[in-house]
């Protein structure tokens, strides 16, 4: 049974990050990221960074630590692709996302800063984003420090237009986690709290996509391979956590919750299959016209 345990551990480490490979390739081919919720990347990045610090205190299975590291790398790549090919003007495809300045004309800035109707605010690719203008459009030089930070990171959270802002936010998160770990590493409650935060957050992973699907009444742009990877992978993960000795209750509870939401999205795929088919045909037609 040793070889079987080793094989299962390798599958746990490599399998979940590979689920997103097909989505990444699809975005590169279509040059559009419609239908894929950007918040998925945010949930996985924050959850897996926190899980790495949880490992420092709990020393759970090494395969799960490797999984977190690989997932962080995979989500950075997927997030960059989502930003590079976000729907909108063709300029977004050529923009450098490390740049702080967006080349908008005054009329465009006025349009971006103007209020939107609820329907318009919910139709963006991020699903639960799209509620305000991006942080870079606020002139930082005219704002005090607190207002500048609030404008950069809080306005339209996780729907920023610059890849650099995502990296800055995650760097701040890592620095904060390091400081807290140095101060509280000897407290058992802190380690347990990290586990519940990391795994609880990861268990909410399908929720942004579930909301995006509900708002659009379609799964067009969201790869079926990702959905099946979620269902099969989370089913395997749940079984693994319950059968493999030494896994904490946090892993088990969060795996069950995540699998339950996966099944709800599977029902969405069945309910919205007609609208999804029409939207896919429209996307293919649009892509062929652009070529």
How far, in Å, CA of 104 to CA of 102, rounded?
6
Over 60: is that where the pLDDT of 97 sits?
no
163 touches 97 (CB < 8 A): yes
Q: Convert the pLDDT of each residue in 228-259 to its tens digit.
A: 888 888 888 888 888 877 777 878 888 898 89
pLDDT band at 150 (very low <50, low <70, confident <90, very high): low
What is the distance of C-alpha 275 from the center of its chain? 24
* Mean pLDDT score, 188-216: 86
pLDDT for residue 45? 93
Please say if the pLDDT value at position 102 is more than 60.
no
Locate 62 and state its tokens.
Answer: 């090494």
Structure confidence at residue 291 (pLDDT): 57
The first and second tokens of residue 46, run together, are 């924050």
Q: Is 207 helix (H, G, I), strand (E, B) or coil?
A: helix
Percent of the chain with pLDDT over 90: 18
Contact between 133 and 156 under an 8 Å Cβ cutoff? The reply is yes
DSSP string, 149-204: HIIIIITTTT--S-HHHHHHHHHHHHHHHHHHHHHHTT-HHHHHHHHHHHHHHHHT
Query: Does the pLDDT of residue 136 top 50, yes or no?
Result: no
Higher per-residue pLDDT: 76 or 1:
76
């Amino acid at each position: 049974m040793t070889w079987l345990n080793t094989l299962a551990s390798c599958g746990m480490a490599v399998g979940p990050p590979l689920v997103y490979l097909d989505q990444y390739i699809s975005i590169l081919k279509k040059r559009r990221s419609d239908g894929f919720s950007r918040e998925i990347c945010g949930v996985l990045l924050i959850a897996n960074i926190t899980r790495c610090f949880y490992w420092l205190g709990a020393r759970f299975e090494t395969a799960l630590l490797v999984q977190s590291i690989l997932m962080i790398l995979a989500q950075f790549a997927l997030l960059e692709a989502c930003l590079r090919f976000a729907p909108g003007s063709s300029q977004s495809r050529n923009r450098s996302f490390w740049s702080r300045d967006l080349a908008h004309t005054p009329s465009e800035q006025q349009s971006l800063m103007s209020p939107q109707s609820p329907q318009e605010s919910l139709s963006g690719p991020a699903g639960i984003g799209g509620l305000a203008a991006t942080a870079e459009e606020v002139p930082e030089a005219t704002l005090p420090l607190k207002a500048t930070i609030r404008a950069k990171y809080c306005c339209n959270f996780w729907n920023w237009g610059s890849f650099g802002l995502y990296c800055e936010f995650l760097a701040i998160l890592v620095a904060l986690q390091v400081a807290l770990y140095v101060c509280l590493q000897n407290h058992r409650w802190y380690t347990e709290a990290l586990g519940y935060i990391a795994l609880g957050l990861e268990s909410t992973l399908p929720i942004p996509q579930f909301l995006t699907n509900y708002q659009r009444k379609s799964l067009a742009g969201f790869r079926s391979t990702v959905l099946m990877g979620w269902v099969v992978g989370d089913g395997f993960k749940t079984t693994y956590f319950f059968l493999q000795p030494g896994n904490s209750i946090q892993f088990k509870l969060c795996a069950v919750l995540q699998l339950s939401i996966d099944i709800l999205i599977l029902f969405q795929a069945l309910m919205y299959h007609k609208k999804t088919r029409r939207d896919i045909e429209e996307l293919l037609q649009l892509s062929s016209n652009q070529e």
